[in-house]
Amino acid sequence: MINLPRFSCILTILAGSCHLFGGSPEVRTEVREQGGKKVTYMYIDGIKVHETDPSKQPFPPVVEPKPYDAGKAKAPDNAVVLFDGTQASLNNWSAMNGKPTKWKLVDGALVSNKGNIRTKQEFGSCKVYLEFATPKSGKGTGQGSG
C-alpha cells in the first residue's frame, strides 16, 4: 500500500527539481545593422534561428510538372471514389439533413449552390486522397481568392 504523505513529499521534491534538469532554453537576441537597417537575430541555446542571407537558406529548385497521364491518375483498386465528375457520382452526396444536395454538376465539377454536403456513406478512420483544381490567378484573399 502507498504511504500517501511520503508519496506526496516525493512528488513535490521531483516537481520542484525538474527545472534543474530540463530547464528553459537559453534565448538571446542580437541586433545588427545591415544595409542601413537594424536586423534582430534570435539564438536559442546558441543556435541562430533567424537567417536573412539567401545563400545560407536558398530557395528550393523549380520543379516542372510532368505531363498529365490519365492512366497513372487512376484511383487504387480498393478506393471508394466519392466523386469523379459524373452525375452518377453526385448521388454519393446529400445535404446535411439527408435530403438531396442543392449542389450542381458543372463541366464535371461540383459547384456549391447553398448549404453543406456530406457523403451518404459513413466512414471511420481512413486515408483521404483529394484532387482539385485552382484558378491560374485568384482574385481576392483567403477563400475568396478563387
pLDDT one-digit tens code per residue, 17-59: 544 555 677 878 888 888 888 887 878 777 777 665 556 666 6
Q: Which residue has the higher pLDDT, 92 or 29?
A: 92
How far, in Å, are 10, 15, 23 from residue 20 at the CA level?
16, 10, 6
pLDDT in the model for residue 54: 58
pLDDT band at 3 (very low <50, low <70, confident <90, very high): low
Helices then strands, counting H and E runs in the chain, come out as 2, 7
User: Residue 100: what residue type?
Assistant: P
In angstroms, the first-to-last Cα distance of the chain is 66
Give the number of other Cβ atoms within 10 Å of residue 101's Cβ. Answer: 21
Q: What percent of the chain has pLDDT over 90?
A: 10
Inform me whether the pLDDT recorded for 94 exceeds 90: yes
| pLDDT computed for residue 120 by the predictor | 92
Residue appearing with cell numbers 521531483:
14
For range 93-116, the mean pLDDT = 89
Cβ proximity of 44 and 26 under 8 Å:
yes
The closest of 142, 134, 98 to 116, measured between CA atoms, is 98
